[in-house]
Structure 1
Amino acid sequence: MKKYFIIYKPFLVFLASFFLTYIILTFLYRNYLSNFEENKLDSITKIVGRNTEQVLLLFTNDASVQEVAPEPYLRLVYHQKYVARLVEGCNAVSVIILFVSFVVAFSGKLIATLLFIFGGSLLIYLLNVLRIAALSALIFYFPKQESLLHGVIFPLSIYGVAFILWLIWVRKFSKYASKNTK
């Protein structure tokens, strides 16, 4: 048994680091969410909604993101048509938690790891806001394609970005990068 532990130690350390980070961050996020009443929207989702509205207003003056009391979502209105709703799951925090967990599991130097986590999380957040704005406009113009847009294309885009960031991290900055480039 000890022989297998030694052979698979890098993989086991990766798994332990990944799951420990993921569990801790998920616990902290769920604890944060528990501070909000059942039908109240969390602050992060509200900020995502405001940022989405700002992006939409760059392209048209007929867009808004409206809070719907007492419901826990924001209503996205584009050209006076209710096109989508923004719920807590749309704020990309779960994707950022997954991203951070992976980077920590393949951690490198502390400063590089922290900077990559910060920069990657910020990029995921910004791209998520752009994704929501684009999705709102596309649903307005192509309402019959909502399932494809919301269920396939846009999740692929956000998870695709996270995957590309992971590849960059592992190949260029992680503790395994120097072994991969030689």
Structure 2
Amino acid sequence: MLKDFKPVLGILLRFIIIYLVLLFAYQFYLNSFKAGGLDPFSRIIAEQVRYFQNSAGYPTQLYNDIPKEQVWFYVKSDYATRMVEGCNAISVMILFVSFVFAFYKGVKTFAFVLIGLILLYIMNLVRIIGLNIVMTDHKQYGKISHDYIFPAVIYGCVVLLWLIWIKFFALKNEDS
């Protein structure tokens, strides 16, 4: 009977191991930058958001709040939003990578993960820019945008990538 569940248990075990290893590595990374404010990866994202918003006509400056480990976006003479570690989408990327590698299919797994991570990174930049624009120009929609619309965009992108991986790569017969 356990023999019937062996493939599913193998996938589940791979997912859990990969997820935990990446999660602990990320936590180690975060702990190493605790005294310096926002971690470097999140800071890079904030700088890129600032660049794109300035290019799009939304004058933006960044203000560091080192003790609280955050960066404030000062957009059009107003503190629109703040960037904290959770805004960098790494936790979402870890979930994505763990799932895809749980259904490992050789070299194409690495290629798909790389393309997926790039897409998720871009989607996260768009998400933060969109939220800043909403909070600057349409503040009344800020809560629904932050809590529902923009998370749906990033998580929807992850689910779509997972479906593509399963449908076109993971479950595809190797001999066809």
Match of 1:178 in 2: 173
Match of 2:116 in 1: 120
Is it true that 1:16 corresponds to 2:10 in the alignment? Answer: no
Q: Partner letter of residue 177 of structure 1?
A: K
Is it true that 1:40 corresponds to 2:37 in the alignment? Answer: yes
Structure 1 segments of 4+ aligned residues over 3 angstroms from their partners? none
Equivalent pair of 2:65/2:71 in contact (CA under 8 Å)? yes
How far off its partner does 1:178 sit?
2.5
**TM-score of the superposed pair, with normalisation by structure 2:** 0.94
Q: Partner letter of residue 172 of structure 1?
A: F
Q: Partner letter of residue 84 of structure 1?
A: T
SS at 2:34's partner residue? coil
Alignment size in residue pairs? 175
Equivalent pair of 1:55/1:130 in contact (CA under 8 Å)? no
What are the superposed Cα offsets for residues 61-109 of structure 1, whole Å, 9 maximum, x if unpaired? 512232223331010111111010000000010000000000011111x
Match of 2:143 in 1: 147
Q: Partner letter of residue 60 of structure 2?
A: A
Is the deviation greater in 31-40 or in 160-169? 31-40
Match of 1:80 in 2: 77
Match of 1:52 in 2: 49
Match of 1:99 in 2: 96
Please give the root-mean-square deviation of Cα atoms over the aligned residues, in Å. 1.5
Structure 1 unaligned blocks of 5 or more: none
Equivalent pair of 1:39/1:71 in contact (CA under 8 Å)? no
How far apart are the structure 2 equivalents of 1:153 and 1:56? Answer: 20
Match of 2:127 in 1: 131
Equivalent pair of 1:139/1:145 in contact (CA under 8 Å)? yes
Q: State percent identity of aligned pairs.
A: 33
Q: Partner letter of residue 137 of structure 2?
A: Y
Structure 2 unaligned blocks of 5 or more: none
How far apart are the structure 1 equivalents of 2:140 and 2:118? Answer: 32
How far off its partner does 1:41 sit?
1.2
SS at 1:60's partner residue? coil
